[in-house]
Structure 1
Amino acid sequence: MHLNIQDGAIFVADSHYNETNQEFLIFLEKLKSEKIKTKQLFLMGDMFDFISSESTYFVKRNQKLIDIINELSFKMQIVYLEGNHDYNMKPLFKNIYVVKREDQAIFMKYKNKKLALSHGDNFTPILYNIYCKIIRNHMLLKFLNSIDYNNFISKKIYYTLMKKNICHNFNAFEHLAKKRVSFFEADIIIEGHFHQGKEYIFDEKRYVNIPSLCCSKEYTVLNDNKFEKVKL
C-alpha cells in the first residue's frame, strides 16, 4: 500500500503499555482532547507490553486504549505496524490499516522521497522467523486462550514482562542501523523496536529510529523533512 505522508504526521513506538508504563494512555488521551493534533498517526509496534486479538485477558486489560484508538480512527488516518509484542490485531481495529510482520516494510511517499516503514524485527535469522510464525498462529493462540484457566498463563506473561528492563543504550547501534539500511530500497527508513531514537545518513539513505515512548517519553513529528522528537 502506498500512502502520501503529510507534514504533521506523528510516529510513536515501543510504549510497552502496562500498569507501570502509562505513557501510551496519556498520549492517546491528549490526542482525544486535541492537546496533541495530527491527521496521520503511525503506531510503530510494541505499543502494548503484550496483546493479541485471541487473548481474552489481554484484550480486556487493554480495552480502554483499544476503544480510544478506534474512536481516533474516525478523526485521523492510523497505520498500525505490528511488533513482536502486539500481533493479530486486525480484529480489534476495523478502521485502521494494520500491517503484519510478514508484510513489512511498507512503502510510502513524502514529498519527493520514498519511505520504508517497519517495526524493526524483520530481516532476522531463520530460527527467529520460525518462532515468530509459531507464536502468531491463530489456532495455537485460540487453544492457549481456551486452557488459560484463571488467566494463569496470561498473568505469568504479563508480570514477567513487567519486570523486564527494556531501556538501554545500544553502543553498536550505528553499525546495526547501517546494516539494516541495506535491506531497503528507499530514501528514508523508519523503524522502532530498538528504543534508541537516533538518526543516521548512510550513502544518501536516511535511517530514523523512533524513540521508545516508554523509555524517553518522546514521540516524533515529521515537518519540513525533519523528524522532531517531542516530549510527552
Structure 2
Amino acid sequence: MAKVKLFGILSTKVALDELIIEADNIEELLIKLSVMESKLNMEELKKSLIFVNNKNIIELNMFKTKIGLNDNVSILSPIAGATLWSLFPEKTKDIMENVLKFEKVDERLDVIRYKSTASIGNIIDLKTTPMGLGKMGIGTVHHIALRVKDENELIEWSNMLKERGFIVSPVRDRKYFKSIYFREKGGNLFEIATDGPGFTVDEPVGELGKNLKLPSQYESIRDEIEKKLPPINVKEF
C-alpha cells in the first residue's frame, strides 16, 4: 500500500489530494489510479512529474520503480501552457502562426488555441479581445519562455527575428542555459532558451535542491542573502 499525493490540476480534477493505492510498481499504480478516477488518464499521468520518497522516478527505474508499504508517491501535473493577452491580437496572431510556427488547433468565443510540437507545456491560448499592458506584481507573468536545442539553434532564431524587424537582446549567459529575448507587437515578451547545459553543471542530480546556488556576481553577498531567506526543512522519508 502506497500513499499517493496529487498536486496541481490533477488534484483539482478529482477534488482530493491524497489516496492509498496497493501496487507493486509505478506503472501498476498509475493504471489503478486512472481506473479509480475516470477524470485522470494514463497519457496525462505518464507526462506528470512522479516522485517516490522524494526521488524522481527518472533517477530510479521509471515506471517499473518498485513501491511498497509506507512508500510515499507524489504526482505533480506539468504546466499545460499559458494565455496571452495582447494590445493588438491580430499582430500577435501573426507572430504565433507565421514566425513561431504554432499550430492553430481551436477557436472558441474570444480565444484561439495554439499547440507546439512538444509533448508537455505545449499549449498557448490567445485572447482575441484587445487588452492593456499588465502591471508587475503577484499573479503577473513577466515573459513566455520557449526552448531550443543548443546555442547554434538559438543564434539561428536570433538572426531570423532580426531579419523580420524585431529588436532582439544579445545572447544572455544564465550559466544553466543561454537565451535571447524579444517583444512582439502585441506587447508580450518572449524568451528563447537552450536546453543545456542544465542544473547539473555544478552539482550531481542527487544533490539538486539541497544547497543554495547563486550566480557568481552574488557570491560576495551570500551571507547577507542567506540571512534573509526563510528556513527550509527537508523531510526524509
TM-score, L = length of structure 1: 0.23
Higher relative contact order (CA 8 A, sep 6+): 1
- Bigger helix fraction: 1
Structure of larger gyration radius: 2
Q: What's the TM-score, normalizing by structure 2? A: 0.23
